[in-house]
Amino acid sequence: MWNNIVNTVLLGTGKKQLRKDDLPPALSAIADTVLGDKSLDVETQFLHLAALALNYRQSGVTALQDSSVTLEAAPDELLPYCSPAACQALQTAIDMGLQALILYWMEACAAARQLAPPEFIPTLMDMAIKEKQWRNLALTVGGKRGEWLGQLNPAWAFKKIETTEERWQTGALEERKQVLAAIRQENPAQAREWLHQTWSQENAATRAELLEVLKINASEEDVPWLETLLTDKSTKVKNETWELLKQLPTSSITQAYWQLLKQSITPAKKGLLNKKSLDIHLQLPSDKRIADSGIQLISSSKNTNDDVFILYQLTAYVPPAWWEDYLQTDKKGVLSYFNNTELTEKFIQALGMAASRFRDLDWLRLIIKEGEDFYMDAMKILPVHDMEAYALRFLEKEAQFIIRILSERDYEWGLPITRELFKWIAKNPYQYNRNFFDKQIQNIPLLIAGELESFTPELPAYQATWKNTTEHIKRLLTCKAAINKSFSNTK
Amino acid sequence: MLLTEEHVIGLAPDDASRKAGSALASPGKWVSKGANTDALWGECQGSGSKPYQTQVDIINVAFKCSCPSRKFPCKHGIGLMLLYARQKDTFTDNTPPAWVSDWLSKRAEKKVEKSDKPVDENAQAKRLQARQQKVADGITELMLWMKDIVRNGLLQIPEKGDAYWENMARRMVDAQASGLAGMVRALGETNFYSEGWQLSFLDQLLRIYLVVQGYTQSADLDEPLQQELRSLIGFTQNQEALKQQTGIKDSWLVLSKQTTEEENLTTERYWLYGQHSRQSALVLQFYVRNQTRPEVLITPGIALQGELVYFPSPIPLRAIIKYPVSNISLPEVTGLEGWTQVTATETALFEQMPVRSERPYIVQQLTPVQHNLQWWLKDREERLMPLKAGYPNIWKLLALSGGKPLNMAILGKEQQYEPLGAWHNGSYKLL
């Protein structure tokens, strides 16, 4: 019926007129009356009948009856939903648009083996579209309902990866690196084996990136395989391999460095008091591999000759403990050998670098304690307590580097270092804005909230900025506290 | 006051206000704050030298803030109410300061002040007669214009420029038929790029025709229908007079709030449903950005205990609230059993008034299902009704449903429905 009416008006009543047959039988009688009324022009007749038909259509709507249309219900959840307080905390984090807090909430929820209420799942899934690394977590807190929605919405059809091996085999590079790093922490040999298995299928850039992960828990068991990689066509891969081998004492390159060092640096007694010292004479020709492995042969400083420069670098690449055997003395004794001449004094820094590289904490602690140099790598190796104490010592000199390293560590900072960091940031308000705190909220301890005002900088121009920042940090911490509290019973 | 955090968040006019309001929901932001059984108040230190004074009349559900923002409620209002919802215990002061008690007493005075002014009935009748003549002249012109469209056909219609529609709309404004002007504008706003535009265009054209025909022959019609038609033409209703009438006392569920903005005029549409009367209602609030703002707060997701007066109509829907009302938690309602009852109700409504807007229903046990690449709502008798095309909250609805039936508040007519909210685990969730 309606098509007939529409077709008539499409052409216009000037060309086509509505007929009784165009209307349903129920309207025939009234159509006769209207069409028979010659006092009405054709347009009025059309409008009369179409208006009548409109209400006929409107009044006759019925629902479609079809029992074949079904939707399989989502399976029952196996885990409980989170508490109303947790929902509220999530809502606050979403309202504030704070991704770091939403992530923190999902981690807390997953750790508590609870689920996000269904109404939040679409928001979390939408976020996971953009943030790939959130997907597994979104699926975890979304529970069976999330998986079920993923079957209906292709954009949310994230594959929940159950096993780490599956994630390793099917994940994107960043995720694979994360998996490999986690495995390397727990089972270094397995991580090496996994990489070995897929090695031939990876492209050069991926090979280099994945190889870098093997720096975690690198051991002499890696050496045979790594040494075969020195023939790789890719320079990136070769460089990465050298970097790894240079931190392994049993590698032939470290041994070669040591041989050359032993030949070139010999113990001696000098002066009237027979002071213990070291003679330095670079023994050439050196092994070709020394240059190949990245050792610079020409000094970049006028004050240091090439021979000393080479030996300095080599010292940074051999375990400091070897000097104890070689010089037949303890750590302090080794340091005093090096300290006794102006030339070798500089090598203490190289020993510090070597201590970091070979993760020799005793040596590192001693050098840190005795010296005034800042070793960047030490920040990554020292246990949290020592690292924070070390960071406090050098904060004024190396603030930005220390803040960066602390930001990359996944743990809650101690109060003393947080205080000093915030004091420094308060004095440098343009380098660290709200975004910085948004991203670091997981690291910031709740207890700092009460002290924020005390960090107000002296410079009046910066005081208002810090006041605003303080308010923002407090809001973040309030939300973080609410998340912690709402999951505390199950943590 | 029963406002929960979720309710307060629902009051925020936009995302920015919600974020800014959340940021102000901390005690440190408030120089002073207090609450008693009548009101809630606080002073918030803003960028100015004096703190902003924010107050909420709990009894009459009204709001005021001294800040320059024209958002309603402003971020200070959201912040204060959020803080109250979260930390009621911190509102220890229960003696309202002068600026709060003055405001409350002025509001009370205003109600008394509104006395009847003497009305010159002769002059009023003359004005009405003159207007009716203007409307009649306008209608004659409109009819000619519409017949032209019908005679020439719709094929060339999409090529008509804006002036074609706007000129006729303005002519209707001149004829003091603002309702018709709006209907003509809506006709010109048909999406001519969408498939099947001819159908919606013809529907709107016929609605105009029905209104005009009904109005011109209204002498034979019942009074409520006459009033409804007059209102569709553009005659306004004296709301003060309306407020003097006896309304329907009930617990009114605030099912949803829809906000639209056009040329600085913000329109808030609140969809209500009476627990005992089982009647739906539409309450409108208008305000002009940067000039006025309403004082009344209606919170979606809770219920108002109070009296509603409907505008005269054979199928009453639009209503005004008679204050005072109080907020109560959402009561239980049964609603209709399925689509058969919805369509029967719709048929009865169309029988009385063929030109009418969509209205809300509460329907039991509806399940969202997919059929022919479209989402539908299936009732327990396995009858299906399509969801409005482009319904934005389908995923939230599906997440709540999980493929199982839910009692829902829906809005629509004919074959276009959109869920406004759904009962999930005993609580009403806004969609």
Choose the closest CB to A9 out of B28, B153, B342: B153
Chain A residues within 8 A of B367 when measuring between CB atoms? 71
Before A445, cis peptide (omega within 30)?
Answer: no
Band of pLDDT at residue A491, cut at 50, 70 and 90: very low
pLDDT digits (tens, 9 = 90+) for A303-352: 888 888 999 999 999 999 999 999 999 999 999 888 888 888 889 999 99
Contact B5 A63 (CB under 8 A): no
Measuring CA to CA, how many Å separate A335 from each of A345, A358, B53, B108? 9, 17, 70, 88
The answer on pLDDT for B263 being more than 90 is no
Q: What are the DSSP calls for A388-445, one per residue? A: HHHHHHHHHHHHHHHHHHHHHS-SPPPHHHHHHHHHHHHHSTTTS-HHHHHHHTTTS-
Q: List chain B residues with CB under 8 Å of A47.
A: 146-147, 150, 206, 209
Residue B388 structure tokens: 């409005």
pLDDT at B406 over 90: yes
Burial (CB count within 10 angstroms: exposed 0-12, middle 13-18, buried 19+), residue B298: buried
The pLDDT value recorded for residue B330 is 83
Shortest CA distance from B148: residue in chain A: A43
Residue B114 in this model has a pLDDT that exceeds 70? no
Distance from CA of B314 to the nearest CA of A (A): 16
**So what's the pLDDT on residue B293?**
65
The distance of A86 to chain B (nearest Cα, Å) reads 13
Comparing B22 with B159, the larger pLDDT belongs to: B159
Q: How confident is the model at residue B292 (pLDDT cuts 50, 70, 90)?
A: low
Q: Give chain B positions within 8 Å (CB) of A71.
A: 367-370, 403
pLDDT digits (tens, 9 = 90+) for A65-107: 988 998 999 999 999 999 999 998 999 889 888 888 999 999 9
Name the DSSP class of A41.
Answer: -
Please judge whether B153 and A15 are an interchain contact, meaning their C-beta atoms are less than 8 angstroms apart.
Answer: yes
Residue B115 is predicted with a pLDDT of 52
Tokens linked to B166: 């706007």
Return d(Cα A97, Cα B123) in angstroms, integer: 59
How far is the C-alpha of A172 from the C-alpha of A159, rounded, in Å? 13
Q: What backbone phi and psi angles, to 5 degrees, belong to B265?
A: -95, 115
How far is the C-alpha of A298 from the C-alpha of A291, rounded, in Å? 11
pLDDT at B101 over 80: yes
pLDDT given for residue B393 in this prediction: 94
Enter the tokens of residue A289: 């591999």
Question: What is the pLDDT at residue B1?
Answer: 53
Residue in B26, B382, B413 nearest the CB of A475: B26
d(CA A261, CA A412): 42
pLDDT for B403 beyond 70: yes
3-state secondary structure of B259: strand
- Whether residue B302 contacts residue B279, with contact meaning beta carbons closer than 8 Å, is answered with no
CA A425 – CA B378 distance, rounded (Å): 58
Structure tokens at A144: 């069976």
> Got the DSSP string for B380-406?
TT-EEEEBPTT-TTHHHHHHHHTTS-E
Q: Confidence class of residue A292 from pLDDT cuts 50, 70 and 90?
A: confident
Q: What is the DSSP letter of A202?
A: S
Average pLDDT over residues B386-403: 94
* Contact yes or no for B428/B421 (Cβ under 8 A): yes
Q: What is the structure's pLDDT at B147?
A: 96
**pLDDT tens column, B165-197:** 999 999 999 999 999 999 999 999 999 998 889
ipTM computed for the complex? 0.81
Rg (CA), chain B: 24
Contact of B22 with chain A, judged by CB distance below 8 Å, is answered with yes
The helix-helix angle for A460-488 and A84-95 (nearest 10°) equals: 150
pLDDT at B307 over 80: yes
Residue spans per domain, chain A? 2-58, 84-160, 167-245, 252-372, 383-481
Q: A121-160 pLDDT, tens per residue? A: 999 999 999 887 788 899 999 999 999 999 999 899 887 6
- Measured between its terminal Cα atoms, the distance across chain B in Å is 23
CB within 8 A of B156, min separation 6: which ones? none
Task: Look up residue B235 and give its two tokens.
Answer: 């005659």
What does the pLDDT look like over B25-73, one tens digit per residue?
Answer: 888 788 899 998 888 999 998 777 788 999 988 776 778 888 888 777 8
Residue B175 to residue B142: CA distance in whole angstroms = 10
Tell whether B356 is within 8 A of chain A (Cβ).
Answer: no
Instruction: Report CA dihedral (B259, B100, B26, B86) to the nearest 10 degrees.
Output: -70
B47-B52-B56-B57 Cα dihedral, nearest 10 degrees: -160
Distance, CA of A222 to CA of A191 (rounded, Å): 10
Whether B153 and chain A come into contact, CB under 8 Å, resolves to: yes
Using only C-alpha atoms, chain A has a radius of gyration, in whole angstroms, of 37
Residue from B228, B244, B237, B417 nearest B339 by CA: B417
Residue B234 region by backbone torsions, left for phi larger than 0, else alpha for psi between -120 and 50, else beta: left
Percentage of chain A modeled with pLDDT above 90: 60
Cα separation, A195 vs B387, in Å, equals: 52
Range with top average pLDDT, A278-287, B205-214, B264-273, B287-296? B205-214
State phi, psi for B35 to the nearest 5 degrees. Answer: -160, 145
The angle, 0 to 180 degrees and rounded to 10, between the axes of the packed helices B15-23 and A84-95 is: 110
pLDDT score for B110: 67
Judge: A9–B150 Cβ closer than 8 Å, yes or no.
Answer: yes
Please report the pLDDT score of residue A489 as a whole number: 66
Q: What is the pLDDT of residue B2?
A: 59
Of B18, B383, B398, the CB nearest to A152: B398
B379 close contact with A: CB closer than 8 A: yes
Judged by a CB distance cut-off of 8 A, whether residue B365 touches chain A is no
